Chains A and B, each alone.
Chain A
């Protein structure tokens, strides 16, 4: 392994240097099919089973653009306040790599579908930073390689590699910021907040799964430093392999402290790709970019230009959902939350989920209680983000409705949620399959109550004698007999009724 890098104390870094950030985010769209062929766009699967001549790059096969992907690209551009191109083309980006079947990536070059936009990002203390968006363009994903042999399954030291092209050709939108300057010590936080805002936005639009852990949202962080008082950007590094929101922040911070130490020692920053190490929060050098790569871009002759009509663009604009931060502002007012309460809600990642649950008919209080408490525990237990739990706001709202109508007790409701999380289907399916319905049929309950009274005649007498608290023992027996599926309040009423108290 390489020697541990010298690092500069963070406070000193921000005293002596101004950081410049550039963030490139690749988002996999959640279309049914790939960008240029009809293969399923699905995560995982047996290797090389979601492939066809086109995405395998077989000789003679041709691409045809997925219209829904173009629609998503335009919607994303609009949500990022971009201009939408009147006319644009795909281009070929030529370079050799075994996971890229044609040895060129069909991408967009000097004619992106969306450009010149911005995203307003809210920091933890409520400050709003406007991040400039240079462009958002369409392209295709690569296949995946599995490195066999060697120590760690990594590329270095591997004996050979195995290629799976299921992911090759999955539609990607690449979103590139303008240089983010003037953030000072908050630069790492801004980086995280930007990616978070982007993720929330794309999720609200239902255009992507935005799962950083599965790679459907990937962030490359470009970082450079310039000595305070100067305006010329320094040499930058590009850190890849940043797989969580927290890592975005850590990677930027680490690069700042590493680069500052190099510069302070009179060294030069090497323009290179670096890899983030999740385990220790460091970055390590990858491929050196000797000179700018010569990708020999040229217009893709197999695809015709895209010229979105203004009517189409305006129609797509009407499909944009309420933006997450607008929605937050609204729910704060409607629910009467303090800034702090809202921030907690946002920080657990629950705000949008709660709002969506409310939109499905639950009250804000019920929805908050489920997401912030029970479901948040479940997420921590599984070490996933709240939004990654396999339950939707609509399903949570349905569980709440079942409780409110008396069909489920709170205890049963939690069991139903467990069933949903376990993939047993919709809440109603779980109720049905697990037989969890509250016994609300009085005649069934009366039989159970009578049996319990008959089994404990002494208790029955006590109740009859005015010792109403003794009813608890009978209620308990009935609840046990009905496996907890009775409404305890109703059972109590029936007990008192039956003994004639």
Chain B
């Protein structure tokens, strides 16, 4: 793949990698008494490995000009493989976390493996590792096709993808060493945060440059969402991570904000990480893969507009619903609650737009597990946003907050929406990318689907039960007017649900493993290669001719 780079690109790569290596070295030296040193070493090793990789092919012949007539999909391919690796890893850790609440000594008396350290490793591995790679991979794919333009160069996408994965590695290894800012979904420390800022700027520039060269007058909906995802995450990330490092030799930093302002900033970030990472980005994905796979036009362009601007505007107000009844002033809670309720309308408009797009293709949903993944995703998107708006109502939140109900809601969204739409999209794009007629085994796609659905339902029902039971037990009064249950009794009552959740998670994980195997075999075993160029030339397709291969 590196051989695809031109000479000057190879040189640029070497310069970047050298700079990275030097940064790593500086970190390793400055932080030799601190976990920062370990991260310095990791950065340095990454840089050196990259340098070797480039030098290895440095004198290979340059690629021919013909490549410029094709889309540049190598980064997408790697991103999809990375996404699946992170998926299996992240969900494995998730299930381990789940079993720890059943068998608390599953830490093997080590520090790195305790609940509080591997829980963020789970959330980051699935959200950033799995979700982020899937978003980067599919966004580059969709961007090129809906703009009919090749990526502007061949270095910046690699910079984004690999830089981003380095960030994920720093995040995950950091938690295991105890390096964390404790801000949920923003736990990585200042130097990793800085790396992400740089990566993100380059990511946005790729978007701008490709769109600038597009051959379509209009920017497609999917790209509105991908752009919103990139831009807003940049704003959120920068503000929420403002912090003062102890020194350049310390991984530790202190958040710029404190107390109530810090809480509001964190949940303004946290909620919109959900909105723009886990929702907007994946809506972009859905808006491309679902109509293509179903072979149907989007149900309503106008509804796309309403829901896009509704989501972009309203989500940003909703973060305070994470702080109901707390020391956050009540007026902010009011705004958070009311905007969350209004937010349901654009959310359901998106879900409805997706499901109505399937009109005329429901027979395909029945037969095609890939499309079924996407259909279930749209349904769960609708369910989760409904649940979210409901939970954002103060009186409901007084019950649900702090309990497993939140965790159930999270995973209805994470498993039902994020993971399902991603698997569907990946199953759709793998054969296109690797020029296969179809997946290695459609039966295994079917297996994956049912394992995922079974796992999803088990997980979510278990958590709804445990969350509501625990919430009710906390506030139950006996007829003397005093509390009925002590806290520890509620911990005991959670046991059966924790077991069920861990089993559900195992099913979902098994599905992901099956899927990874299937994808791997699709890549390895040649089916009947279809004509690579016919399907993928960045030129107008004559109207009416299906641009892509039919489903399996």
Q: Do A and B bind each other?
A: no
Residues of B within 8 A of A (CB): none
